[in-house]
Amino acid sequence: MSSPQPRTLAEDLRSRSDGQISALLNARPDLVHPIPSDMRALTTRASTSPSIARYLDDVDVLHHFTLRVATELTAEQPTSVPLLVDEVVARVDAADATDFATSVHQAVDALHTAALLWGTQERTHVVTSVRDQVAQAPAPSWPPPACSAPPSSAKEHATLDQQAEAHVRSTISIIEEVGDLWRREPGAVLRSGGLSTRALDTLAAHLGADRFAVSCAVDIAHTAGLLAVGATDSDVAWMPTESFDDWRRTPPGRRWAVLAQTWRDRQGVTSTKPLVTEEHPFTVTWRHHLLTVANEASGECEIDAMLEVIDYRWPRRRGSKRSSVLRTLSQEAEVLGILNGGGLSSAGRRLAAASDSAALAKAVTAHLAAEVDTVLIQADHTIVAAGPLTPAVGRPLRDLADVESRGHGCVLRISNASLRRALTVDADPQTWIEFLRTISSKNVPQPVIYAITDAARSLPGVRSDFVAPCPPAPRRRPRTRATAATVDKTLRVLRAEELRERVDEAPIDISEVPRMDSSTVVASVKYAIDHNETVHLTHAESDGSTAVLLVDPIRLGGGSLTAYDHHAEQVRTLAVSRISGVVAIQISA
């Protein structure tokens, strides 16, 4: 903060350097969308409540409390930075007062950079719109909460990835099995939408999977456009889409990447009503907070500890609702193999870093066990797979047998119900027997062959598969960012407007522009182009008069100068032979 003392926020912003304005725009990227036309527009936008609220959404309890103290100290007159820092330190019971004072100084600097505080060290003001938004800000705890688990070793990371891999395989398998089941027997749709609780319980029992895991998996598959409501012969029902078949043909890593990105970007969370997503406007933001905190933790971090960190770093909208949603999001992340026991998997860290689908697929594939195409078939009708099954083997095998357990491998069992299901798909028992012989590591046991041929005697009618039309992929609004190019363009617009206002206040006389020969004119113009300078030049107009133009030289060549004329507010082409003098503009601070 520098002197002389600005009287208003507008004067404060006008006195800031390009670097300081760039820092403001980077701290508050909403200010450049759209680009403000001048400093007055920037000041107005920076002092509005919605813009201030967006900034406060992303700063911690210390910044909120510092602003609260500042508003109280400046209720009648400006305060000083030392007094503000001392008052904040005095109100907080910090274990290390020196360390806390340093952090308060940093918070004050950040708030000044973001133009919520303005003025000098001796006379500091608070933007008026801030007052109501921080009136109830609580005092921070110090040191702030953190995930204090010891760093994970390489072995612990490997174990975490192995456990996450089991969840990845399980979720993919659940979606594939639900799609296959609903292709044969579409799921009934409630009048209010979604799936009945009883149907979900039946589905979970059939799959031998956790109820929440099934609900979460089908919710995400629905959001990804893999499952949808379609028309059957007599009604509408849940069934796989055309995209489901395309998804299924891709490698497992790609399949998971689709699910993980859908989860990261979707607006809702898994609710108590299956396939009725509970949407909340801040779900995407809260999911980002969860991934950020988990990614920054050196080891595993329990959900309660993560909630404390999130409440400190993003205090706005904290409460029981956010805690409940975050706990559900944590459960969803575990189902997908993103989190496990409070620690991010390697693929989860890629997701937290906003990697693309190819990078996500590569990260998860590195920890996925190789797919197998052979199984062990036993006389008690059980089928044991030592690893995940290839799609060519897994899909028909799940038609023939029910999954009893899943994980790195799986165990299936042939039952009367599964045989009836398989013979509905293909009524020829010999086809199924030959299929088992193809995938079995040993001879197919005679009791299994007999069970298949015996079930074929009561062959049910063959029914058609159902496929729902593919719904359009959900569109996500891109996150607003202030790119370097946008900030630079904003600075040029602001400075050009400021320059125009100052020049209009103090016009230059023709006598102040020295006469030059043509070589000096060319050299002066080239220098202005190379150094992005604005210049005054004397130019012989077509009516014979001589005018002083305020221009930004752009290009010189072929005896002509292309420049932006500030008074005409357009780009002009001027003959160099008509220019008799050039002088760089001098603007007082």
Q: What tens-digit pLDDT sequence spans the chain (589 residues)?
A: 445 788 899 999 999 999 999 999 999 999 998 888 889 999 999 999 999 999 999 999 999 999 999 999 999 899 999 999 999 999 998 888 899 999 999 999 999 999 999 999 999 999 999 988 998 899 999 989 988 666 666 767 788 888 888 899 989 989 998 998 898 888 888 887 788 889 999 898 888 889 999 999 999 999 999 999 887 766 788 999 999 999 988 999 999 999 999 999 998 898 877 787 677 788 999 999 999 999 888 777 889 999 999 999 999 888 888 999 999 999 999 999 999 887 888 889 989 887 788 888 898 888 888 888 999 999 999 999 988 888 888 888 988 998 887 767 789 999 988 898 888 888 888 999 999 999 999 999 999 999 998 888 776 544 444 445 555 544 444 445 667 767 776 776 676 666 555 554 445 666 677 788 888 888 888 888 888 788 888 888 877 778 888 888 888 887 889 888 878 777 788 888 889 889 887 654 4
Last-in-domain residue among 424, 458, 492: 458
In terms of Cα–Cα distance, which of 314, 170, 134, 154 is closest to 256? 170
pLDDT for the residue numbered 443: 92
Query: Do 231 and 319 share a structural domain?
Result: yes
Query: Do 329 and 234 share a structural domain?
Result: yes
Query: Do 42 and 105 share a structural domain?
Result: yes
Question: How far from 178 is each of 34, 134, 222, 398, 534, CA to CA, in Å?
Answer: 46, 49, 11, 11, 68
DSSP state of 372: B
Last-in-domain residue among 427, 458, 489: 458
pLDDT for the residue numbered 464: 40
Tokens, residue 490:
């904003």
Query: Do 394 and 254 share a structural domain?
Result: no
Question: Is residue 464 domain-resident?
Answer: no
pLDDT for the residue numbered 376: 94
Q: What are phi and psi of 299, to 5 degrees?
A: -140, -160
pLDDT for the residue numbered 588: 47
Q: What are phi and psi of 230, to 5 degrees?
A: -135, 175
pLDDT for the residue numbered 475: 45
* Positive/negative CA dihedral, 253, 256, 261, 262: positive
Question: Is 382 in a helix, a strand, or coil?
Answer: strand
Answer whether 392's CB lies under 8 Å from 149's CB: no
In terms of Cα–Cα distance, which of 531, 524, 572 is closest to 551? 572
In terms of Cα–Cα distance, which of 178, 201, 216 is closest to 331? 216
Between CA 401 and CA 210 the distance in angstroms is 19
Question: Is residue 546 domain-resident?
Answer: yes
Query: Do 408 and 384 share a structural domain?
Result: yes
Query: Do 511 and 426 share a structural domain?
Result: no
Query: Do 423 and 352 share a structural domain?
Result: no
Answer whether 294's CB lies under 8 Å from 344's CB: yes
pLDDT for the residue numbered 81: 95
Last-in-domain residue among 365, 389, 404: 365
Q: How many domains does the chain have?
A: 4
Q: What is the pTM of this model?
A: 0.74
> Angle at CA 38, nearest 5°, toward 35 and 42?
65
E strands within 70-209?
A: 117-119, 124-126, 187-188
Query: Do 515 and 448 share a structural domain?
Result: no
DSSP state of 58: T
pLDDT for the residue numbered 489: 65
Contacts 24+ apart (CB under 8 A), 159-162: 160/300, 160/340, 160/341, 160/343, 160/345, 161/345, 161/346, 161/347, 161/367, 162/367, 162/408
Before 143, cis peptide (omega within 30)? yes
pLDDT for the residue numbered 71: 94
Question: Is 345 in a helix, a strand, or coil?
Answer: coil
**The domain containing residue 559 runs over which residues?**
506-584
Query: Do 162 and 115 share a structural domain?
Result: no
Q: Taking the CB of residue 64, how many other CB atoms lie within 10 A of it? A: 21
Query: Do 180 and 47 share a structural domain?
Result: no
Between CA 401 and CA 390 the distance in angstroms is 16
Question: Is residue 451 domain-resident?
Answer: yes
Query: Do 307 and 215 share a structural domain?
Result: yes
Answer whether 403's CB lies under 8 Å from 208's CB: yes
Query: Do 301 and 252 share a structural domain?
Result: yes
